[in-house]
Amino acid sequence: MTAANREDIDHGGRLLLFVTGEAPRSRRARTNLRNVLKARGGDPDQVVEIDLLRQPERAIRHRMFATPALLRTDAAGTESVLYGDLSDSVRLHRFLDDLPDEET
């Protein structure tokens, strides 16, 4: 995954997708996010994916105990979390709408 070598970079203004390996929900979330970002003309690569099975300490650091989950940090450092496999595209769109520095 592209996420593997980008997980330690500063994620300000970016999206972190927390998954647990290849669990069905994690796979669905990955696909759903990719599709919505594409539909919005966004760059799917802006998403940093973190596999908590491989890096459980990141679950602790980010307080991410339910997965899949999408973590968004705005420029001010305020975090928002969207839990679930992102199958609710209306919610996902709204979550992404609020992103102030969304790239085009």
3-state secondary structure (DSSP) of residue 49? strand
Verify binding: residue 79, another protein, rule CB under 8 A: yes
Smallest distance from the beta carbon of 25 to another protein, in angstroms?
6
Q: ∠ CA 88-90-92 to the nearest 5 degrees?
A: 70
Distance in angstroms (rounded) separating the CA atoms of residues 13 and 96: 11
Distance in angstroms (rounded) separating the CA atoms of residues 32 and 12: 22
**Taking CB under 8 A as the rule, which mask of x and - marks residues 22-41 in contact with another protein?**
-x-x--xx--x---------
Verify binding: residue 18, another protein, rule CB under 8 A: yes
Binding site for another protein (CB under 8 A): 18, 20, 23, 25, 28-29, 32, 52-53, 56-57, 59-60, 63-69, 78-89, 91-92, 95
